[in-house]
């Protein structure tokens, strides 16, 4: 089964924006796709549609599974998952998160798994998104911003993924607010990673067309 893990250089750089655009592009091309976000924090049931899993569900279309199926672990506090879970009397474990992902990976269509925060953001008291990706043995899409300093952050994340032997299918630079020119920043980054496909995701009013990314993925 084809599985890609969408991770990032940090929090709020555009993982869900990129994931939703990719889902829409795959569906427009007639390709099946599912989405899963095992844990989310900062979740407000009153604003479920605007949440990360709510946006993923909308991108999946009318036949999408329930929000509870897309994101089974939802916590209210806008903190890292282990801290948000602790505030509700829950202790997260990597075994639990892996089992949830593997249940989804057993499905009959390609799957996007979206992490929480950056590649080195904590998922449990002692483990990170990287540990989960490593356990699952899947390839990653790395999302980064276009802000000043992003080249260093992106190359650092790529080195960490490489050290664990995680294949990177693509890097997507999601446009940041009040940032340097997107194309120029992407060109500066691409010189340091000639063997990894790099895509730019502008924040256009109509949303980013991710069809080029979709075509480039053996997925």
User: 128-159 as b/e, with b when 16 or more CB fall inside 10 Å?
Assistant: bbbbbbbebebbbbbbbbbbeebbebbeebbe
Tell me the pLDDT tens digit for each residue of 84-96. Answer: 999 999 999 999 9
Which domains, ranges and CATH numbers included, belong to the chain? Answer: 3-216 (3.40.50.300)
By annotation, the residues acting in catalysis are 37
Cβ-based burial of 49 (10 A; exposed 0-12, middle 13-18, buried ≥19): exposed
| pTM (predicted TM-score) | 0.96
Q: What is the mean pLDDT of residues 134-141?
A: 98
CB 145 within 8 A of CB 174: yes
Only one residue has tokens 């924006």, namely 17
Tell me the pLDDT tens digit for each residue of 1-55. Answer: 599 999 999 999 999 999 999 999 999 999 999 999 999 999 999 999 999 999 9
Q: What is the mean pLDDT of residues 114-132?
A: 97
Strand extents, DSSP E, the chain: 3-8, 34-36, 39-40, 73-74, 111-114, 139-144, 168-174, 198-201
What pLDDT score does 1 carry? 53
Only one residue has tokens 């929000």, namely 67
What pLDDT score does 202 carry? 96
123 CB-near residues (< 8 Å, 6+ apart): 39, 81, 82, 92, 94, 97, 115, 116, 129, 131, 132
Residue 59: count other Cβ atoms within 10 Å of its Cβ: 22
Tell me the pLDDT tens digit for each residue of 151-192. Answer: 999 999 999 999 999 999 999 999 999 999 999 999 999 999
Which of 25, 35, 18 is CA-nearest to residue 113?
35
Q: What is the mean pLDDT of residues 105-122?
A: 96
């Amino acid at each position: 089964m084809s599985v890609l893990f969408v991770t990032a250089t940090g929090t709020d750089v555009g993982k869900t924006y990129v994931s939703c655009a990719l889902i829409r592009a795959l569906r427009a091309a007639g390709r099946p796709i599912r989405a899963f976000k095992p844990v989310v924090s900062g979740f407000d049931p009153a604003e479920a549609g605007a949440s990360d899993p709510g946006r993923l569900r909308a991108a999946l279309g009318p036949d999408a599974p329930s929000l509870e199926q897309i994101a089974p672990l939802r916590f209210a506090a806008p903190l890292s998952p282990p801290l948000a879970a602790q505030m509700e009397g829950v202790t997260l474990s990597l075994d639990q998160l892996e089992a949830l992902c593997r249940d989804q990976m057993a499905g009959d269509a390609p799957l996007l798994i979206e992490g929480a925060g950056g590649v080195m953001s904590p998922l449990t008291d002692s483990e990170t998104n990287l540990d989960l990706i490593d356990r699952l043995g899947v390839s990653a899409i790395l999302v980064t911003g276009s802000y000043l300093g992003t080249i260093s952050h992106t190359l650092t994340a790529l080195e960490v993924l490489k050290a664990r032997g995680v294949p990177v299918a693509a890097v997507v630079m999601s446009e940041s607010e009040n940032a340097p020119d997107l194309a120029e920043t992407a060109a500066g980054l691409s010189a340091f990673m000639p063997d990894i496909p790099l895509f730019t995701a502008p924040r256009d009013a109509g949303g980013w067309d991710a069809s080029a990314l979709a075509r480039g993925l053996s997925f």
